[in-house]
Structure 1
Amino acid sequence: MLQQDSNDDTEDVSLFDAEEETTNRPKKPKIRHPVASFFHLFFRVSAIIVYLLCELFSSSFIACMVTIILLLSCDFWAVKNVTGRLMVGLRWWNHIDEDGKSHWVFESRKASPQETRTVSEAESRIFWLGLVACPVLWVIFAFSALFSFRVKWLAVVIMGVVLQVGSRKNLTSMATSYLGKQFLRQTTGDDQTS
C-alpha cells in the first residue's frame, strides 16, 4: 500500500487552470456561416474562372458573356441580401426619391456592449478580401484586354468591373473606413502586447 501512495503523489491539476490557459491563448478564427462564406467567394471566383477559361471550353462568345454576367449578378444579389448581412452586418438598398433620383442607403449593425464580437474576424476578412480583390482582378483584365486589342472581351470585362464596383461609392468608402479601423485596432493591439 505504501508503494501505491508514493505513485499517487502526482500533482493535481485544477480544471479551472486549464480554462484560464485556453482563454489566454489566441482563439482560432471561427467561421460562423460557412455556406454564406462559400457563396460569397463562389460567384466571384467562378466568374473570373469562366472569363479565363471560356475560350478553351466554348467557341460561343455570347454564352461566355451571359454566363459571366449571370454569375456576377448572382454575386451582387448574394452580397446585398445574404453575405453582407450575415458576415459583417451590412445591409443596403436602393431608394428612388420623388424626383426620380436613385439613392443607395447603407446601414451597418451596431454592436451592443454585451455583444462586442457579433462579427467573426475570419468571416470579415473573407468578406472584405473578396469584395476588394476580385474587382482589382477585373481592372487588371480590362487593361489586359485593352492592350491586347481584344475589343469584344473588353466589353465583357467592363461589364465585370461595373458589376463588381459599379457606382457604389458609399460602399467603397465604408470598406476603406472599416479596413482602416481594423488596421488601427490591430496596430494598437499589437503595441499593447509588446
Structure 2
Amino acid sequence: MVYIPPLNFAPVISTEVLLYRSGFPMPLNYPFIKDQLHLRTVIYVGDKEIADDYKEFLDEQNISYHYIHMNSCLDPEIHQQMDRVLRLVLDIENYPILIHSNKGKHRVGVVVGIIRKLLQGWSTTGIYQEYGIFSGGLKGAADLEFITMFNTELTVDKRKLPDFVRNFEST
C-alpha cells in the first residue's frame, strides 16, 4: 500500500510522545493516519466545521476530536483558543496528537510557534524560520508578532506533562 500524508505534514515532536502538524486530512490520507500515526487526539484549529466522512473516520478509529475555532491571530478570542490548544498538548494522556488547520500553514504555524517558544525554549529566529518553511515565506507579520508577544497564565498538572516540555511553569 502507498500511504499519502496530509498536506504540509511533519512531526513537531518525535520522542516518546508524538505530535504532528498538517493541513486538513482528505479521505486519501485516512489510511496513512490510521496505519502510520495511531492517533489518540486530533486538534483542528480552523474556521469551518468538519465534513461528516472525516468525523466518521475519527469516530471509527476512536480518535478524540477537538475543534477550536480560530479565524486568525487577530481574533479577539485568540488567547482563550490558544490556551485550549495548550491544555490538550500539555496532557500526556492525549498523545499521539495531530494538530491541523485547513492548509497547515498559518494557524498551525502559530500554534507550533507557541509550542516551540513556551514549551521548548526555541529562539525567535528558529521559530520564524520554521514558520517560513511551512507558510511559503515570512508573510504572516501579524502571526509572527503574536507568537513573539504571546504569554499565558495557564496552570496544568505537572504530573501529566509530556517529557519534551522544558520551559513551562505549572502547578
The normalised TM-score by structure 1 is: 0.26
The normalised TM-score by structure 2 is: 0.28
When you count strand as a share of all residues, which structure comes out higher?
2
Higher relative contact order (CA 8 A, sep 6+): 2
